[in-house]
Amino acid sequence: MGKQVDASAVRALVGSWPGVEADVKWQDDLVFSVAGKMFCCFCLRGPRAGGIGFKVDDERFLELTDRPGFVPAPYLAKAKWVLVAAPESLPADEFKALLRRSYELVRSKLTKKLQRELAE
């Protein structure tokens, strides 16, 4: 991305996607959800401040965590979440694509009815 990624940049990127809601959880994280299911977590404070966690395809988890800057996300690695400590180090297109894929993965697990409602 080049420049520092902050909470407002992430909100601007994902906030317009259908059904996305944002709220602060665990006092330190800005969590983005679709129909109440998390797909992205921006660390506001603490040792991982400025980092961002998100879900990835099962097949890409090992590939991504082998790359510099990607680590298995604490508490969520079992569910194939990664944490990027410095998201600004990623090319903007890749960063956007990874977040969009996370959204799509979570959305695809919603009931068909909810998916239809989000499509309207």
Structural domain of residue 101, as residue ranges? 7-119
Res 8: pLDDT: 86
Residue range 19-64, pLDDT digits in tens: 999 999 988 999 999 999 999 999 998 888 889 999 999 999 999 9
1 lies in some domain:
no
Domain count, the chain: 1
Q: How far, in whole angstroms, is CA 39 from its chain's centroid?
A: 5
2 lies in some domain:
no
CATH number at residue 30: 3.90.1150.30
Average pLDDT of span 5-29: 91
Average pLDDT of span 1-25: 86
Res 120: pLDDT: 66
Res 2: pLDDT: 52
How many beta carbons lie within 10 A of that of residue 104, not counting itself? 14
Residue range 56-99, pLDDT digits in tens: 999 999 999 999 999 999 999 999 999 999 998 899 999 999 99
How far is Cα 72 from Cα 83, in angstroms, rounded to an integer?
6
12 lies in some domain:
yes
Res 19: pLDDT: 93
